[in-house]
Amino acid sequence: MDYQNANYQPLNNNAQPTQENNQQQTTHNVPKCNCCGHIGPWKEDPVFRPVDWILTIVFLLLGIIPGIAYAVVVLAIRSGKHGDGYRNKRCTNCGAKNMFTFIY
């Protein structure tokens, strides 16, 4: 390869910063929907989804112990402060699932 006739352009590292680069992103307590831009609280799905009710009834028909065990495990996983990660959060404006941010 012949690099002697290449057309090199100098890098422009001294470009003026734009308005977008100057904005500081801050953390807020209220989430913002990434889909519609709504700023407000979200709505969480219930602890027992319809499929959980159906599976609990099926396991209860198979035996009382498996049905109760399934219900207790689902309740333990999806409830409480640490169970929030297993529940969908929906925007109250557009209904988008799990599309939120606290940095805006």
pLDDT digits (tens, 9 = 90+) for 16-51: 655 555 567 788 899 999 999 999 998 988 889 999
Given a cut of 90, whether residue 68 has pLDDT beyond it is yes
The separation between the first and the last C-alpha atoms of the chain, rounded to the nearest angstrom, is 49
Instruction: State the amino acid at position 53 in one-letter form.
Output: W
Choose from 3-7, 11-15, 17-21, 61-65 the range with maximum mean pLDDT: 61-65
